Structures are given as C-alpha cells and as structure tokens.
Structure 1
Amino acid sequence: MKVTTEACIFGALSAQLSQPHNPNRILDIGTGTGLLALMKAQHTQCAIDAVEINDEAFLQARENFYVSPWKNRLSLFHTDIDHFEPNTTYDLIISNPPFFENHLQGGNSAKNQALHTNTLGYHQLAVCINRLLSPKGNAHILLPPQPMQVFEALAKDLGLYTQQKVSIYNRPGSALFREVVSIGRTPINTTKQNFIIREVGNEYSKEFVGLLQPYYLHL
C-alpha cells in the first residue's frame, strides 16, 4: 500500500504539535501500513496502540511493526474502531482517515476501504475520539480542507475544539492541499500556521527538509 507524502508530513507535524502535551499512551485509528504509529514510536517512549480493519493493511502493519526496533511498544488490533474497547483512554489519538465521501468507487475493494468513508465516517471518527480521548488529551487529524470543515463541526458538537491548525500547500500560491488539526476538550483560540512542500523551482522547501530529515534516509 502506498505511503503518501502528506502522511509523512502529518506524522512529523504531529510530533511538533505533541511537544507541549507529552503523551503517555497513543492510539492510531486506521493505521494502514503502520507508518504513523512507527513515526510516533521513533520520537516518543510511549506505548502505542494501532487499529486497522482492512485485512491486507493489517498484515502489512504487523510485519512492519515486527521488524521495527520499537516492536515491544507497538500493539496492533485487527478490528473496527467501533468495536475497540481498551481498558484505558489515550493522551494522544492520531488518524489519517478516508476522505473520498460519496465519490464514485473503483473495483479494488481494499483501496476503496482505505480511501472512502464507508467504513469510517467523520461522525463515527469524532464519536470514537470523544470516547477514547483522555480528559486533557489531544487528537491530530489529517484531511483535505472541505472534509476537515465537516469533521471540525461534528467534533465541536461533541465538545472537541480545534486548538491548532496547519495548512499544507504543495507550492507557494497553490490551492490549499491538506489540513492538520489538533483538537482537545478545552475551547481556546486556534493557533494557525502554513506549511509549503515545494518551492517554485520544484525543490523541497527548507521547512519540508527540516521537518522530514529525522525520518528519511536521504533528503
């Protein structure tokens, strides 16, 4: 399964957003191949639980976790998040959820499950975060701008407020590409920042290189 640039950016940005909160236990909802959980394991000492419903992705994540140096802190669960009943809440929840809601689907059911909201709708995600988040915890979410507006409104109805937001652009002057938000139970003024992936000449931006160097072998 493909590892996207925006997912890598999200994992690295989440490390920066997490710094003031020092989470003790982390949950990755819809871990896919396990990329985000592995990135969190690299820069924390936390116990990390990862949930994945798709069979193929679960098997890939299990293999990736097993060969990683952090396998003793990584736990993988093959289940629907609705049926996930841990005996704890989480200081940090991360999710890069599907977002092609109501779009025409192709014939690849595994890819459809990863990209569409059939198995993880935005309301369901907000409800699960509300159920599993500790009182002072935060959740970090990556979505395109329009789905993010929908998710933020649903989360706010549950008492989960956007506290930090990073707007991601492919290049200077390009349309808004993705947004990363940090939500929590305390309503505060949202801090905002922009992140640009590539410069006009198509070279990676200095902020991209600085952010991703701890995770890439060559950058």
Structure 2
Amino acid sequence: EGGASCALNATANPTKLHTVGQPMPGHEIRLIDDDGVEVAPGEMGEVVGRSPAMMNGYHGRSEATRDAEWHDADGNRYIRHGDVGRFDEDGFLTLMDRKKDLIISGGFNIYPSDLEAVMAQHPAVADCAVIGVSSEAWGETPVGFYVRRDGVIEDAPAILAWVNGQLGKTQRLSALHIADELPRSAIGKVLKRELRDRLAGAAA
C-alpha cells in the first residue's frame, strides 16, 4: 500500500539509529506541507513516496485513492504515508508523528512527540502521551497523560508546571492527567483514540 520504503544499515551508521534510514534504491520520498508544497531541507513535512511496488489504488474506493495521492510538478504520482518526518543533512529520515495526531492550536502546528520527549525527562514520569482536544479559544489544545514512576511522588500540577516551563509558549499543555497505564496496541503503539475517548467519557 505504501509508496516507498527506507532501509538502515545499523552497523555502518550507529549514530542514525533514531532514524528509519534512507530511501531504498528505486524508492523516492519527499516531504510536503499542508498546501502540498515541498518543504525546505531540514524542515518537517508529511511523508509521500513512490516506488515500482506502490499500490494502484483502493479497490472500488476512488475517493479514498485520490485522498491518498500527491502529484509533483511533473505529474509523478506519490502515495501519502500518513507520517510526519524530517530528513537530516545526510538524507536519513526521522519519523516524528502520525499526521492525524498533529495538533493545530491557534494556527500553530504542535507535534505531540516534541512534548512527550520533554515530559519523559521528568523523574516522576515513567510513560507519557499527548493528544489534541477541542478548544473554543484555540481550535485544539494539547493535553497530556502520564504514568507515575514507582517510588517517586509528585502531583500532576507540579509536573505540569515543570513541563510547561520547558516548552515554548505555543506548545504548552492545557492539562495533565495521571493514568495507571497507557493503552497500547499489540506492537506497543499508544492508542491515542482511546485516550481521547477516555476524556470524552469523563466530560459527558
């Protein structure tokens, strides 16, 4: 289904283990913004790719196929991967977030992974996740969840104040909730839809 793939030789590139590698031979990956324009080198953008093995489309679902496609100025067809990523100066791709998890607050793009990386540095936080929720003032606002580390006692307001002190003004969490554990898929990904449902249920 995907448009292109990357490969990483971990032995030859031990400093690139945080990346998914470089596009494989015959595979091409580009990064685009919300308007479908390629981003400048080093900037984050939506991952689109093409290769000889990419899909022709979804059977009987022409609209879904169109939504999954992007075409460059020469008319070449690419498939949207659903990820947001960044290429480094050596052409290695780092995946930052799923595009559907991107938070747009007050016109600013907020990447949950950036906020999660900061929250994870707090000594009381064993696990964490950030989601976007609706906001009348900002459109969306980031809300955090964390699992308390065993043996460390610190309340959510103190952790929230610490995290927001490390973040830029447009990134700050509007709330922080403690959880016994975060819902995860069979492969370990946080199920952020379940966290959104949890908040919606609490507000009902």
Provide TM-score, normalisation by structure 1.
0.26
Identify which of structures 1 and 2 has the higher relative contact order when contacts are C-alpha pairs closer than 8 Å and 6+ apart.
1
From the two aligned structures, give the one with the greater strand fraction. 2
Provide TM-score, normalisation by structure 2.
0.27
Larger-gyration structure (1/2): 2
From the two aligned structures, give the one with the greater helix fraction. 1
